[in-house]
Amino acid sequence: MSPNLYKVELCTDDVSLALTKLNDCDQIEFCADLENDGLTPAIEDVNKLLEQSNTLIKVMIRCRPGNFEYQQAEFETMLSQAKAFLEIGVQNFVFGALSNQRIDFNIVKAFCEFVFPHKVCLHKAIDLSENIIEDVVLAKEIPNLNEILTSGGATTAIEGAEVIKNMISVAGDDIDIIAAGKITSINLHEIHELIGASVYHGKRIVK
């Protein structure tokens, strides 16, 4: 488990790995197909995690690889996916959408309302926004959007450090900014010294 200074979030698409690392992290973002940056996982895999874990499990809702601009039919598919997870007891979701190079808050708000009062993390779609900071401000208006995952618009957390720190300042106590981007168990302390986030995310963030 991580020091009280910050939380550690493991990102994985492997149920067996997740089950072996439950005591080494504070929360898990679970998905399928990490090679395509994460898609909606199989419900039986999530159910297995819920049955065997008290660790906070966050489920990615993303119906296809590629961009984050969704047609109405795709959004309805993702709502159906979320409904199925709600029915087995999932209480934390990861979701994001873009429109015209900004976060699509029409879709994001609709998703958050659909799963309310359960919590939503806005994923790294925000790194593709042409105005990341303004989108953080807008995200604060959504009551159950409690986290934003980001590399600060860069490839790595180190490269995006200044933007991430700005996001943390703007988010205040309303939203946890989760720093991501090539963060490992080896460089985690160094990155925390640089950024000072409350949560860190990575595929190799635990030993």
- Residue ranges per structural domain of the chain: 7-202
For 7-202, CATH number?
Answer: 3.20.20.380
Give the tens place of pLDDT for each residue, 65-86.
Answer: 999 999 999 999 999 999 999 9
Place of tokens 């208006």: 141
Nearest in space to 121 (alpha carbons), one of 160, 90, 165, 80:
90
Give the tens place of pLDDT for each residue, 30-64.
Answer: 999 999 999 999 999 999 999 999 999 999 999 99
Is the confidence at residue 2, as pLDDT, over 70?
Answer: no
Query: What mean pLDDT is predicted for residues 117-144?
Result: 98
Top-confidence residue, 62 or 5 = 62
pLDDT bracket for residue 1 (50, 70, 90): very low
Query: What mean pLDDT is predicted for residues 140-167?
Result: 98
Nearest in space to 137 (alpha carbons), one of 172, 111, 161:
172
Query: What mean pLDDT is predicted for residues 179-201?
Result: 98
Contact 73, 101 (CB under 8 A): no
Q: Helix (H, G, I), strand (E, B), or coil: what is residue 184?
A: strand
Find all residues with CB under 8 Å of 93, minimum gap 6, and list them.
58, 59, 60, 61, 82, 85, 111, 115, 118, 119, 120, 121
Q: What is the pLDDT of residue 42?
A: 98
